[in-house]
Amino acid sequence: MGSVFTSIALPVALAIVMLGLGLGLTRADFERVLRHPRVTLAALACQIVVLPAACFALVLAFDLPPALAVGMMLLAAAPGGTSANLFSHLFRGDVALNISLTAVNSVLALVTLPLIVNFSLGWFGAGADHLGAQAKTALDVVVIVLLPVLLGMLIRFRRPGWADQMDRPVRRASFTILVLVMLGAIITNWALLAQEFGRLSVITVLFCLLSLTVGFVVPRRFGASHPQAVATSFEIGIHNATLAIVVAQTVLGSTELSLPAAVYGVLMLPLAIGFGTLVRSRYGLRPEPAA
């Protein structure tokens, strides 16, 4: 039963999530990032360089076991999650920029995620047999990430009306899938999670708060408006925990590696709401009601 969940259910679940992302994307979303090059480059640098480096420092400071250390690095390497778009909408961020960054980050992750994961596997000595399989890891990431996104974009191009109709149902399904995937990862490794929950909860909370703060402050230094900074904070601060769990269990074949992402996925939601509320009160803004 467990192998069926790992080999079939998880990839299918992620495919639905990424298909939903693709349904909301157009070519204009990729072109839009060129209109704000300084903000875009600052956000991408935070996502690809700053946060993995910060996560690496946290992992060393907390002296996590090798599998959990690699799991944290896998989470840091994951692009922004689809929930970031919703939070940007609620707290009056530039949702169009948010969607554009999600699209670009998802494509870049095809290269950056295997690089960071393989580096982590070598450094922490967890599953060293995967080190020589970087090309396969990248190919697997392409299959489970890029192809569903491209299919969603093709559907939107061919049948935009149907894509609009499916947007809300697919978003709801994606949220349900996210919850089920996290619960599955937690239940599968309950004993290890109970043993390491203290350290994992602290480090994931710190990492989430650091990600949200960096995502807001750094782009502001590069000229981002307040709505743009809100968008980048959620894009950078809300990592794709579902992708991290699926890569851990299906590509790397380890449920232990998925635990940090599962804990992060649970704790991230109230932290993101609290962060958005704090930023809103600081700038005297009110969130829009949920659709």
Band of residue 171 on the pLDDT scale cut at 50, 70, 90: low
Mean of the pLDDT values across residues 147-156?
A: 77
Task: Give the pLDDT score at 184.
Answer: 66
Query: Taking 70 as the threshold, does the pLDDT of residue 110 lie above it?
Result: yes
pLDDT of 1 higher than 50: no
What does the alpha-carbon distance between residue 131 and residue 122 come to, in Å, rounded to a whole number?
7
Contact 98, 84 (CB under 8 A): yes
Answer yes or no: is pLDDT of 275 > 60: yes
The per-residue pLDDT for 205 is: 92
pLDDT given for residue 132 in this prediction: 41
128 confidence band (pLDDT: 50, 70, 90): very low
Q: Is the confidence at residue 59, as pLDDT, over 90?
A: yes
Distance (Å, whole) CA 153 – CA 149? 6
Domain ranges of the chain: 2-283
pLDDT tops 50 at residue 287: no
Residue 88 vs residue 203, higher pLDDT? 203
Lowest mean pLDDT among 124-133, 206-215, 236-245, 276-285: 124-133
CATH assignment, 2-283: 1.20.1530.20
Q: CA 153 to CA 148: how far, in whole Å?
A: 9
pLDDT band (50, 70, 90) for residue 218: very high
Cβ–Cβ < 8 Å for 102, 134: no
CA distances from 140 to 113, 135, 286 (A): 11, 9, 42
- Rounded Cα–Cα distance for residues 113 and 70 (Å): 12
pLDDT at 131 over 60: no
Q: pTM here?
A: 0.75
3-state secondary structure the chain: CHHHHHHHHHHHHHHHHHHHHHHCCCHHHHHHHHHCHHHHHHHHHHHHHHHHHHHHHHHHHHCCCHHHHHHHHHHHHCCECCHHHHHHHHCCCCHHHHHHHHHHHHHHHHHHHHHHHHHHHHHHCCCHHHHHHHHHHHHHHHHHHHHHHHHHHHHHHHCHHHHHHHHHHHHHHHHHHHHHHHHHHHHHCHHHHHHHHHHHHHHHHHHHHHHHHHHHHHHHHCCCCHHHHHHHHHHHHCECHHHHHHHHHHHCCCCHHHHHHHHHHHHHHHHHHHHHHHHHHHHCCCCCCCC
In this prediction, residues 24-34 reach a mean pLDDT of 67
What is the rounded distance in angstroms from the CA atom of residue 86 to the CA atom of residue 238? 11
Is the pLDDT score of 157 beyond 60? yes
Confidence category of residue 210, pLDDT binned at 50, 70, 90: very high
| Choice among 58-62, 140-144, 267-271 with the minimum mean pLDDT | 140-144
Pair of tokens at residue 266: 């649970």
